[in-house]
Chains A and B, each alone.
Chain A
Amino acid sequence: MRAWRYPAFWLTLGLVAAAGAVVFATRSATLREEMFLLLMFVTLASSLNILLGFTGYVNFGHIVFFGLGGYVGFYLMSQHGWPLWWATLAGGLASALLAWLLGAATLRLRGAYFALATIGVNEAVRAFVNNFRPFGGPTGMSLNFAVYRQYGGPANALWWTFGAMFGLTLLVILISYLVKFSRFGLGLMSIREDEDAAMVLGVRTPRLKTWAFVLSALFPGMVGVLFFFKNGNVEPGDAFRLQMSIEIIVMVMLGGSGTVLGPAIGSAAYERLRGYLLTSPIFKNLHLAFAGFLLLIIVLFVPAGLVGWMRSRLPKLRRVLE
């Protein structure tokens, strides 16, 4: 528990807390909607970072956990009338369980083979849900309007969802720091640097990798439930977009993988930029091409991301930029 000694810990938590506080202070619905998406991407990117940044395993199927968790939670809410809180928890646990099962098998693969397997898992789960009757098949499911009554009407329900999202974002940042400065985190980073050497030195790599995978899957599962609850419906195309998996990787890379501040800043920056491109008349049709160009520039010239680049430039600020 040394995390709280680092200024970076307070800086990142403070930034996220301020983002949420502004929304609650102004009570503005438009700001809330914007901030919901922003916090959602911060949570998704930070949770991916536990596997990608700390452990060095590239997961192209992070969105599977978002989709599957969302589906499980949504199913419980719409078919069995579960309240949002329990459904969110159940969605997260379902994703974590899937990660545990998958991890036992796929984490034996290394490098590009693991990355390929995650693409395969994403496609397999999407194709399965598309055909799975209880989840509504290709048309998905939608919520009955009456569901919102138990939260005091739809308007209140949206505030509750935002509050939950905000709490989840704070939690994922907190846990990322706790992991990063723990013995467990050191083990993960040793796997990232050289897995064979780590094994020789007595790091129990299979167990650590699996737990990192489970932890990284828990949050997107919960986020998925909140997102689809707010949306009111869920369908396979929205839930398992491979594109979105890769956008999350871009966010982590943009900010700097392996740091906690990086993914948070990267996802906020990418989300704002995408919002701007989508609405600007010149870039509206070219936003995907522009995002691709940005990604290429980062990969070729700033592979450590924004925070990583600043760390190497300003060694004195390293304790602040973790």
Chain B
Amino acid sequence: MTEQLLASLTDGLLLGFVYGLASMGLSLIWGVMRVINLAHGATMVLGMFATYLLFSAFGIHPYVALPIIVVLSLLFGFLVYATAVHRVINAPYLSTLLATFAVNMMIIGIGTAVFTTTPRNVDIPVGRIQAGPVTLLSTRLVATLIAVIVTAGLYLLLYRTRPGKAIRAVANNRAAARLMGISAFRTLALSFGLGTMLAAAAGALIATFFPFTILSGAGYQTKGFVICVLGGLGNPTGALIGGLILGALEGIIPVFMAVNWVPVIEFVLFVLILLVKPSGLLGAR
């Protein structure tokens, strides 16, 4: 029992790092611009398909492809922000919810037409490391490592560079930041681009563990909401910790009950946290 628990807990935690990475993007966008990005899941799927295409068409290894995907997704984020979000950024939140959902529909619609909904997978050789009862898959370990590096990079960017400082200033008070001469458009576009990038990177890593279809994004996106609420919306560190908590739950729950009860528990927890402490378990105040 303990052995099984230990094995599934480790598995869950390693997955949790990647969930956390994706949710940091959601959390960053919410924290800086008060937009819930409903195109987040679709963006993750774009990351998955980019990995798949680069691997199957050009034989580029997923980890080598990652930097390319990062750059492309950053640009894609700028594009989405400029065309769909900027015009409604000060409108009531329903407008931004619907605008990002419209982007989601377009991505999924075009994706379904091009790729159909047949499952795909990225077939790379997977190494195993045996540590007692725990089997560690090399893909999970590398993904965890990359997730940690990207998180560290995000922190350096936010706390050690001028654009990062601008992002934090805009998050704190957009009007005051503009009075200090910070371009709101450029900063918001950068934040949206970074959020999109984190989603696509997480998607690219998930593509190395699980098969996926063009519709897989919805499940990951709702998990992202659960994680963000666990960690406090708008708090990137919280998102990473929330990801670990969710990963651990996903590891532990199936040991005690049927695996299809996992979503019931996740979403009940989600609604309960929203009701009791909407700022999240780790949120301020």
Contact = CB atoms under 8 A, between A and B. Distances in A.
B98 A119 contact: no
A106 B275 contact: yes
Contact of A296 (B103, B112, B267): B103
Contacts of A52: 94
Interface of A: 52, 58, 105-106, 108-109, 111-113, 115-117, 119-121, 123-124, 127-128, 130-131, 138, 242, 246, 249-250, 253, 285-293, 295-296, 299-300, 303
Contacts of A115: 36, 93-94, 97
B264 A120 contact: no
A296 B94 contact: no
Contacts of B105: 288-289, 291-292, 295
B278 A300 contact: no
Contacts of A119: 222, 225
Contacts of B278: 109, 113
Contacts of B264: 124, 127-128, 131
B256 interface: no
Interface residues of B, number: 40
Contacts of A292: 101-106, 109
Nearest to A137: B260
Nearest to B36: A112
B34 interface: yes
A280 to B, nearest CB: 13
B126 interface: no
Contact of A300 (B34, B93, B99, B229): B99
A119 B97 CA distance: 12
Nearest to A105: B275
Interface string B89-116: 0010111011101111110111011000
A283 B258 CA distance: 42
B260 A112 contact: no
Nearest to B270: A120
Interface of B: 34, 36, 84, 87-88, 91, 93-95, 97-99, 101-106, 108-110, 112-113, 218, 222, 225-226, 229, 258, 260-261, 263-264, 267-268, 270-271, 274-275, 278
Contacts of B226: 120
23 contacts: A58-B97, A105-B275, A108-B275, A112-B93, A113-B274, A116-B274, A120-B267, A124-B263, A124-B264, A124-B267, A124-B268, A127-B260, A127-B261, A131-B264, A250-B98, A286-B113, A288-B108, A288-B109, A289-B106, A295-B105, A300-B99, A303-B88, A303-B95
List of 8 A-B pairs having minimum Cβ-Cβ separation, nearest first: A289-B109, A292-B105, A288-B109, A124-B267, A296-B102, A285-B113, A127-B263, A292-B106
A282 to B, nearest CB: 11
A108 B267 CA distance: 18
Contacts of A242: 218
Given A115-B94, A131-B264, A299-B102, 6 more contacts: A109-B274, A112-B36, A115-B36, A119-B225, A285-B113, A300-B87
Contact of A299 (B98, B218, B263): B98
A113 B270 CA distance: 11
Contacts of A290: 109
A116 B88 contact: no
Contacts of B98: 249-250, 253, 295, 299
B101 A288 contact: no
